[in-house]
Structure 1
């Protein structure tokens, strides 16, 4: 259920005020036993505070014995053992992790994919396809292929004409006001097809790490679905639990 935005009062600490508001909702029955609270992002927007303030408020609520928190499982991709923080954009994240990558754009056009539209729950089958290959700038060995699919929208429809903002999809999406909030990711192994092997100058059938990542905005709107083929000589999946 949606909650209205609130302005906190001066004086009492903001974490305590957040805890008190949520405590009232729990005790009044607005939130029933076993119900999930709003996400951190939703609470940040609702109370117009920082994520750290929200977390302190939830800690206070937990100390009052009104909520319990579940420790989740976290996973992230590494490059040569260094975490790849794709929240800052894949190109910049790879550079920060030490990849000396040269990027080639293989495709930038509007396509139709009814099957993907049904999978993502979007009405229009029109997508912007952004395919890129990355190789090592020194010796040309394979790093990755990424195939992004962006649901076509007014904010993005001129991308095939003007190209990516600052050469990155990350900046392009944010420039259009599309900020990823949550999503999901699948990881498996794929043997390179003859076509992909030719792009990366590898032997056909070479095993690569395949990730499929779906990101959504805070309102659930699909922003990007990207399938990546990652060279396991560099990439690995790190799991924390």
Structure 2
């Protein structure tokens, strides 16, 4: 075989090898897939078999103890995250074809977390690794997910402690459930804390989850349309009618 022919054959083999490697890289999961996606768009047209994800995943390695996945309405696959017996977050699973991974979208903060299965272990990025504990049935799940359509806008307004506009504390709540707790004892009102309202299982009850302070959450009970009780001391706040 002459030198020219050998070079031609070698070039053809290298080209074939490159095509093979390119084909392999274009399938399966993308190693560069991000751990999280902000404000991931929901796509109801995605076709994917989530069967391997369904069930109760326990013994979490991070701050959370269990990650529970079950079929939801309208073909959704819903998940709930618990710390001990306390429900913390919930959302839905969605396969993202661009990266070749399933992501767990959090309804409460707009972040989607990459999920990775490895046998009997499920790793949810930035949340923890969980061990498969069984397929479960709806009765096995710790709680029913709070009603996602609860209307927080009915609480919008300025609320004064004990109804005293010149009192020590004021609570501001916006129509989208963002709250600010203010100290009114000085010359100017000072912000003590702020966060978002999340519905609980009980009608008329909410969780006020702090954004400013780590691991802080207040219980909120609505007595009537203009009276609510806030926090562990159940301070009374009355909405201003002005």
What TM-score comes out, normalization by structure 2 length? 0.26
Structure with the larger helix share: 1
Structure with the bigger RCO (C-alpha within 8 Å, sep 6+) is 1
Q: When you count strand as a share of all residues, which structure comes out higher?
A: 2
What is the TM-score normalised by the length of structure 1?
A: 0.26
Q: Please identify the structure whose Cα radius of gyration is greater.
A: 2
